[in-house]
Amino acid sequence: MDDRGASSAETGAWVVALPGPVGTADSGPLVLERRPPPVPGAGEVLVEVEACGVCRTDLHLAEGDLPPRVPRCTPGHEVVGRVTALGPGTEGFAVGDRAGVAWLAGVCGRCRYCRGGRENLCPASTYTGWDRHGGYAGSVTADARFAYRLPEGPPAEELAPLLCAGIIGYRALERAELPEGGLLGIYGFGASAHLTAQIALARGARLAVFTRGEAARGLARELGAGFAGDSYDPPPEPLDAAILFAPAGELVPVALAALDRGGTLAVAGIHLTDVPALNYQRHLFQERTLRSVTANTRADGRAFLAEAARVRPVVRVNRYPMRHADAALADLAADRVTGVAVLVP
């Protein structure tokens, strides 16, 4: 789908018509439709999409794991593009600027969480591609206060995954409290994990990866993992910290059992299947900690993007034309994507 030559009266956008299992490229919950182009409201920017990452959260939305909050919602919250219009009173951007539109779309700014620097926990928080239409489209609007200014140099398809996979992985790494030089275990090795691994390695960590896909294990070794095994393999030595990226609750006790004394497991996903019963002595005693990760703050986003600019992580990109967004989501559902899937016009 390339809307740059389309009539200004309409634009193409993918929508979740009826949540359900993602099937083949010609069937499933995503439907391509045409609608009037979005108009930026007060304080908003209109961004022409140059690239949009395909996130597992989009899959959860399409399949109904996340109840839709907007009828016929357009997914996509890893958006890189150009500002083409400004709403009334918009500050911080000019027409022509490169901008990133990420998962966190808005907060109340008044609750105790917002006032205390924990806006990711705001009960009134809203999200791109869930509460408002996202980037599986020719253009998207965003509150300028929640958009990111992006550098001009890197390709759009390499920047896009940083806006969710990168930022969420960064927060998960912070929540895992990995000691300096410690051994980090990563369970699942998709978009977020392969970026987070590189940040951890650049900080001096050692890395053990546990994932069911041989291609993903190969990528982990290529990026510097000292160990890459199956999801249920024991680690080469007890882990100082771990992050669970796979949305598989059955791996929680596996990862906890692999932790050393005092270790922390951070669960990075927005959706997780049920967690089996835990054994206190085996999984939690000796001050092992289990933590969830909920969205991110804008401070997380700025800090990660600054660190990524220094580290320059390798982004393993699988490009899909925007008109094949349904195929990209189907490939993600079937674990046929190694690295990240990115939609381009």
pLDDT tens for each residue of 183-237: 999 999 999 999 999 999 999 999 999 999 999 999 999 999 999 999 999 999 9
Is this prediction's pTM over 0.85? Answer: yes
pLDDT tens digits along 175-184: 999 999 999 9
Return the H-helix or E-strand segment holding 314: none
Q: Identify each DSSP E strand in 87-232 by its residue range.
A: 98-101, 104-106, 126-127, 139-143, 147-149, 183-187, 206-210, 227-229
Tokens 């967004």, residue located: 325
In the predicted model, what is the mean pLDDT of the chain? Answer: 95
pLDDT of residue 6: 35
pLDDT of residue 8: 52
What's the rounded mean pLDDT across residues 275-299? 98
What's the rounded mean pLDDT across residues 60-78? 95
One-letter identity of residue 58: D
* Residue 5 to residue 329: CA distance in whole angstroms: 26
**Relative orientation angle of helices 56-63 and 325-333, to the nearest 10 degrees:** 100
pLDDT tens digits along 12-60: 999 999 999 997 555 689 999 999 989 999 999 999 999 999 999 999 9
One-letter identity of residue 205: A
Q: What angle do CA 101, 55, 65 make, to 5 degrees?
A: 115
Q: Say if residue 4's pLDDT is above 50.
A: no
Provide the percentage of residues in the chain whose pLDDT is more than 70. Answer: 96
pLDDT tens digits along 104-152: 999 999 999 999 999 999 999 999 999 999 999 999 999 999 999 999 9
Q: Identify each DSSP E strand in the chain by its residue range.
A: 11-16, 30-35, 44-54, 79-86, 98-101, 104-106, 126-127, 139-143, 147-149, 183-187, 206-210, 227-229, 239-244, 259-267, 289-292, 317-321, 340-344
pLDDT of residue 287: 98
* Residue 38 to residue 273: CA distance in whole angstroms: 36
| Residue 2 binned pLDDT confidence (cut-offs 50, 70, 90) | very low
pLDDT of residue 24: 54
CB 52 within 8 A of CB 75: no
138: left (phi over 0), alpha (psi -120 to 50) or beta: alpha
pLDDT of residue 3: 38
Provide the percentage of residues in the chain whose pLDDT is more than 90. Answer: 94
